[in-house]
Amino acid sequence: MSLLILVVDDEPDVEALFRQQFRRDIRDGRFTMDFAQSADNALKLITDAAAASLILILSDINMPGMTGLELLPKAKAARPDVPVIMITAYGDTDTRRKALEGGAEALLTKPIDFVALRSEIDSRVAGAGVDVG
C-alpha cells in the first residue's frame, strides 16, 4: 500500500523544501508526496488518488484563484476520511477559526515547524497501520 501526502502551495520552492525535509521517508518508502501548485490541480489529484492511500492533505491558505480555505470544504467533500492541515504565513485568530470551522485538523504557520509536522505525519502513518520505525 502506497501512503500519499498531498502538499498544495503555489510557491515553486515548497516542493524542494518538503522533498529535502522528508527525503529519507520518501526514499525508504514510508510514504510518497505529491504536489499541486493550485487548488484546482489539488482537487484533480484528490479525486485521482483512489489507487494510493491518501492519508493527509497540507494546503497553503493564500493562493491565487481558489484559496486554501475555499479548497477545504471541497477536499473534505471528496475525501471526508482524509485530514487537512492548513498552512499560512498569517496565523491570526480569524484565519485559525475559519480553518478549524471549515474542517481543518490544524493550522501551521510559516516558516513551518518541521518537527511538529513530522510528528503529525508520523501519527497519520501509524494510524494507517504502517510501521514508522
What angle, rounded to 10 degrees, do the helices at 39-48 and 68-78 form? 10
The pTM of the full predicted model, rounded to 2 decimals, is 0.92
Grid cell 488518488 — which residue?
49
Average pLDDT of span 33-38: 96
| pLDDT tens by residue, 95-108 | 999 999 999 999 99
| pLDDT tens by residue, 57-110 | 999 999 999 999 999 999 999 999 899 999 999 888 999 999 999 999 999 999
Q: What pairs with residue 60 in β-bridges?
A: 87
What percent of the chain is helix, strand and coil (3-state, nearest 5)? 45, 20, 35
- Which residues have CB under 8 Å from 31's CB, separation 6+? 2, 3, 4, 5, 22, 25, 55, 121, 125, 130
